[in-house]
């Protein structure tokens, strides 16, 4: 498995199992299957509300000697309710307890959005807190603290624009190591990727398959289907592989980390095997032409009346 070197020499595997939308009841089996297929990287988050079951699967696999902790790469994410300097540790500790781990490999600020502590999903502006009140710099100081306490080996962000990364890094003692964002052929984010490469930030691609299993309220009626893009289908035929495998191979061929989600054993095996597919320069440039700057995860759920969050200022795109 290809991996990327962090500044301390740790290697982040290029492919991980996404666990957003993996239901409790399914995710234990998915994680055990993934481990037996060879996955060593698992992408988790407090807000996915399934970390306890993932923890049970990791624990059982470690106890049976199938894998040891040092071979695993476990990422999790700070929820928006815990952006205050003294709250970061609390959220991380809930995650560590659920995952039955002593430390994470990577902890990310999930969104550049702060919420009231008792509001898990805001329904109106009163559940949100302005970034001028709890600043991203303050949250990052909390992240630096848990890093120095060795509760995580690395720290980073998710859903951050170049502008927000730059703002945090200006005052950071420990610079951002990873940015996890939505990436697929219809949202290639070339400038963001270039910027992150220059700043030695590893980029992780989420929703690489278009996250078709999102709840209806999060989906647009006329959403494009990545699996039906003719160029993707044709490249798949050329390699005797599925469109999903082409999408995963594309992400790894352009040197990003990718975290496709599946709870189905055959599909998660197929996704794992896609890491070895080499696309030609011509195929890469064909896919390069498909960019439409199309987001499946728009962030509109944070652009609530009565708050100062908008879709435009979330992504810093006017
Ligand atoms: P399932 O979990 O039943 O396999 P994303 O990673 O972009 O969030 O996409 C996840 C969605 O893609 C889920 O609905 C998942 O379903 C589906 N999926 C994952 N792998 C494949 C695959 N190889 N072929 C088709 N669909 C897939």
**318 or 109, which is more confident:** 109
Pair 79, 92: CB distance under 8 Å: no
CATH code of the domain made up of 12-219+256-263+297-315:
3.20.20.100
- For 235-272, the pLDDT digits (tens) are 999 999 999 999 999 999 999 999 999 999 999 999 99
Contact status, residue 261 vs residue 20, Cβ threshold 8 Å? yes
The predicted pLDDT at position 269 comes to 98
Q: How confident is the model at residue 118 (pLDDT cuts 50, 70, 90)?
A: very high
68-81: average pLDDT: 98
Where are the alpha helices (H) located in the chain, listed in sequence order?
27-37, 51-63, 88-99, 136-148, 162-171, 190-198, 230-239, 243-253, 265-273, 281-288, 311-315
Assign 216 a pLDDT band (cuts: 50, 70, 90): confident
pLDDT-wise least confident of 56-60, 134-138, 213-217: 213-217
What is the average per-residue pLDDT within 131-135? Answer: 97
Q: What are the residues whose beta carbons fall under 8 Å from the beta carbon of 194, sequence distance 6 or more?
A: none
How confident is the model at residue 266, as a pLDDT? 97
pLDDT at 98: 98
Beta bridge partners of 109: 78, 157
Residue 217 in tokens: 């309220």
pTM: 0.97
Averaged pLDDT of the chain: 97
Percent of the chain having pLDDT more than 90? 95
Residue 280: DSSP 8-state: P
Taking the domains of the chain in order of start, what are their residue ranges? 12-219+256-263+297-315
Between 23 and 187, the more confident residue is 187
Q: What is the mean pLDDT of residues 40-51?
A: 97
Residues in the chain: 318
- Residue 73 Cα to ligand 1 midpoint, Å, equals 21
> Which distant-in-sequence residues (6+ apart) come within 8 Å of 284 by Cβ?
250, 253, 254
Q: What's the CA-to-centroid distance between 246 and ligand 1, angstroms? A: 13
Residue corresponding to tokens 């603290």 = 145
CB 256 within 8 A of CB 203: yes
Strand 11-13 and strand 3-5: the pairing is antiparallel
Average pLDDT for residues 86-111, to the nearest whole number?
98
Report CA(40)–ligand 1 centroid distance (Å).
19
Report how far apart the first and last C-alpha atoms of the chain are (Å, whole number). Answer: 39
What 3-state DSSP class applies to 15? strand
CA angle 266, 267, 270 (to 5 degrees): 90
For ligand 1, mutation pick of 21, 213, 218 (most atoms within 8 Å of CB): 213
Q: What is the pLDDT of residue 24?
A: 85
Per-residue pLDDT band at 104 (split at 50, 70, 90):
very high
Instruction: State the pLDDT at residue 164.
Output: 98
User: Which of 28, 48, 195, 309 is flagged as catalytic?
Assistant: 48
188 Cβ contact list (under 8 Å, min separation 6):
288, 290, 291
How many angstroms is it from 156 CA to the middle of ligand 1? Answer: 25
Mark whether 48 is an active-site residue. yes
Does position 158 have pLDDT exceeding 90, yes or no? Answer: yes
Position 218 scores a pLDDT of 86
For ligand 1, atom 19: residue with the closest CA: 262
Mutate to test the pocket of ligand 1, among 243, 262, 270 (most ligand atoms within 8 A of CB): 262
* Residue from 29, 42, 260 whose mutation best tests the ligand 1 pocket (most atoms within 8 A of CB): 260
Please report, rounded to a whole number, the percentage of residues in the chain having pLDDT higher than 70: 100
Residue 129 pLDDT? 97
Residue 318 has a pLDDT of: 74
| pLDDT score for 62 | 97
Reported as a single tens digit per residue, the pLDDT across 77-90 is 999 999 999 999 99
- pLDDT average, residue stretch 52-67: 97
């Amino acid at each position: 498995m290809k991996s990327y070197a962090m500044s301390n020499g740790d290697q982040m595997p290029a492919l991980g199992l996404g666990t957003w939308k993996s239901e409790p009841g399914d995710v234990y089996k998915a994680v055990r299957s993934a481990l037996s297929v060879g996955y060593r990287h698992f992408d988790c988050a407090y807000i996915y509300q399934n970390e306890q079951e993932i923890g049970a699967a990791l624990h059982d696999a470690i106890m049976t000697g199938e894998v040891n902790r040092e071979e695993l790469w476990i990422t999790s994410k700070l929820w928006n309710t815990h952006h205050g300097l003294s709250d970061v540790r609390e959220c991380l500790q809930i995650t560590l307890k659920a995952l039955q781990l002593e430390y994470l490999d990577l902890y990310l600020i999930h969104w550049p959005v702060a919420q009231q502590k008792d509001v898990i999903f805001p329904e109106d502006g009163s559940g949100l807190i302005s970034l001028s009140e709890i600043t991203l710099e303050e949250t990052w100081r909390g992240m630096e603290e848990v890093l120095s306490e060795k509760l995580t080996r690395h720290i980073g962000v998710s859903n951050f624009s170049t502008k927000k990364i730059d703002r945090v890094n200006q005052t950071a003692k420990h610079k951002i190591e990873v940015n996890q964002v939505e990436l697929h052929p219809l949202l290639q984010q070339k400038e963001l990727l270039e910027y992150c490469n220059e700043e030695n930030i590893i980029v992780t691609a989420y929703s690489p398959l278009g996250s078709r299993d999102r709840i209806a309220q999060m989906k647009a009626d006329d959403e494009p289907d990545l699996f039906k893009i003719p160029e993707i289908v044709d490249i798949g035929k050329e390699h005797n592989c599925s469109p999903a495998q082409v999408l995963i191979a594309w992400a790894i061929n352009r040197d990003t980390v990718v975290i496709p989600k599946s709870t189905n054993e055959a599909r998660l095996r197929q996704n794992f095997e896609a890491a070895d597919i080499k696309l030609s320069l011509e195929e890469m440039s064909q896919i390069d032409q498909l960019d439409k700057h199309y987001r499946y995860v728009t962030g509109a759920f944070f652009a609530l009346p009565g708050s100062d969050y908008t879709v435009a200022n979330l992504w810093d795109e006017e």
